[in-house]
Structure formats: structure tokens, C-alpha cells
Amino acid sequence: MAMPLETGGVLRDRYRIKQFISRGGMGSIYLAEDLRLEGRLCAVKEVRLDLSLSDETLEQTRTQFLREATVLARLDHANLPKVSDFFSEEHSDYLVMDYIPGEDLRSLMLEARQQGEFLPEQEVLSWAGQIAGALSYMHGQDPPILHRDIKPSNLKLTPNGVVKLVDFGLVKILAAQEDTITIVQGRGTALYTPLEQYGGDTGHTDVRSDVYAFGATLYHLLSNSAPIEARERFLNPGVMPALRALNPDLSPRTERAVNWALNLHPEERPQSIQAFQQALLGQIEPKARVNGRLPTPTFADVISSQTERSLVWVAGALLLLSFIATIGH
């Protein structure tokens, strides 16, 4: 395992590491002091290259990082941390962003659960409005930018009540003809990952993939219960509890909107973040659901669908075959 950066060490003669913040599958984040701008704190994300890769692949990976970091540095939105710098040193790439103070929404949810309470619905929906604004902004770029790792721990509530969508570790840019470039490869966090994203960068993901993760995040925040992984839902229809069964005080409208976003098939979800937000606000009505339960498609449903749906079928079929093979052993 690679050694963490040392406290007090300086990167690029500018960023003094103050402390380690967190580590994920795609890299580590540190709190740092900007020596050129007195008093400014920033978050430095370090992504270490896999030295087992060929020189050609390493060069391509670094080129992709620099290209995509350039795009991220151009983003300017109140609910996104500003990327102020990026560079590479030896076997690591670095992304420098605003340091966002405050607690993440996962911590706030856990605090409420420990007290036997739920986060207030209207407060969560207020946060959702801010998150939707950030995602709509990202999706509206040319080409669109996907976050691909939306989850409660990647949402921070600042002391002045602003929610920030942080950690660009899995950001994906949709280029022409669906060629893509990605800072780091990965599938996101399984609990919030749609079925089509299980193929990593080989899977067909678009803005509706972020819709699913957003819906799964709201399910968790509103129910104090983690959503069931998409692959488990595919193999075991009906396994995920209805939202209002977990939190009866929620409005039916919120439950219907979240259910809509949690469809396994991309074409049966809201087709944009704006549509999902409108459903949460009651401005449009989601598709009808049987007995209010979460949609759980069968193989017949998948096979009878059109071309786009076949991508999800392939992912699901492979998961089923893997499951059968495991039982056989």
C-alpha cells in the first residue's frame, strides 16, 4: 500500500499538507494550506498511478487526467467546489479544490438515526434542490459532465446552509459519438450505482445514471436505511422495502418521485435531473407504479424492450450467470 503524504510536506512549492481527510477507492484527500495565498485552505486530491500498467497506458491515463482536469477547472457553480489547480508529480496526479467546511449528509443522517429520528423531509428536499442545481449545471455543459459517485458522504452542508457536491473522482465527460474520457476508472459506490454502470467505463452511462444515484441517495437520507444494490434488486425482485414502509411520515409524492428515479431501466427513469426535481416538487407526475412498490423488472420485461434496454439486460444476465456459477461451486 502506498504511503500517505506526510504532514508538513509541500507539494509544488505551494501546498503544505496539514492533515489527512479521507481515502477512497480512487485516491486520498488532504487538507492543505496555500502558501501563496495566506490563510487559504484547500483540499488536495491525490490519485496514484498504477505502475503495473504499460508505459503507453500510463501516458494515456495522465493525458486524460490533464484534459479532464482542465474542463473541471472551468466549472463555476455555487454548489460545486472550485477546482483551482491540477498537476502531476512523479507517480501521482493532483487536483486542488476549495476546502469545504461542515458535515457531510451521511453524518447528519447517522446522527438523526442514533436519536431515533429521521431527517426532516422538507429539509432534505431543500438540499435536493441545491444538488439538482449542481447536477443540471454539470449535465448542461458541452459536452455533458457526469458525476457518477453521488452519495450522502459526497454531499457537504456548509455552516451557512449551502450543500456542495464534492469529490470529482469518477467524473465522466460525454464526448462526441459517446467516446469518453475519465480521470480515474471506477464504478462508483455500489449502493448508489445503477446497473448500467457496473461495466465501469465500458458501460453505457448518461445523465440518467446520475438520476439513479441521486434517487438512491435521497432514499437513504429519508429512510435511514441504505438502498439495496441494483444487481441484488435485479436478481431478487421486490427485495427493497418501500420508502414509506420505512418512514411512514413521508409524503406519497416524494415516495413516487424517488421510486421513479430508482428504476433499473434508464429509459423508465426521469430523463433529466430537471424532470426528477419537478416530480419531487409535484410539478409533474411520475409513471404509475403497481401498489406503490419499487419497480422490479423480470427477464421477460427486459427481453421485450428495445435496443437501449438490451445494455441493461446484458449486465443483468452476466450477474445472474455469475450467481448461478457461485451456487454451483
User: Which residues are the active-site residues?
Assistant: 149
Helix (H) or strand (E) run with residue 44 in it: strand 41-48
- 7 close to 33: Cβ distance less than 8 angstroms: no
Q: Which residues pair with residue 7 across a beta bridge? A: none
- 237 close to 298: Cβ distance less than 8 angstroms: yes
Cα separations in angstroms, 276 against 37, 93, 189:
40, 35, 21
Q: Alpha-carbon distance 187 to 229, whole Å?
A: 13
Retrieve residue 18's grid coordinates.
Answer: 496539514
- 83 close to 41: Cβ distance less than 8 angstroms: no
Write down how long the chain is: 329
For residue 159, cis peptide bond before it (omega within 30 degrees of 0): no
- Sheet containing 155-157: order of strands: 103-104, 155-157, 163-165
- 292 close to 242: Cβ distance less than 8 angstroms: yes
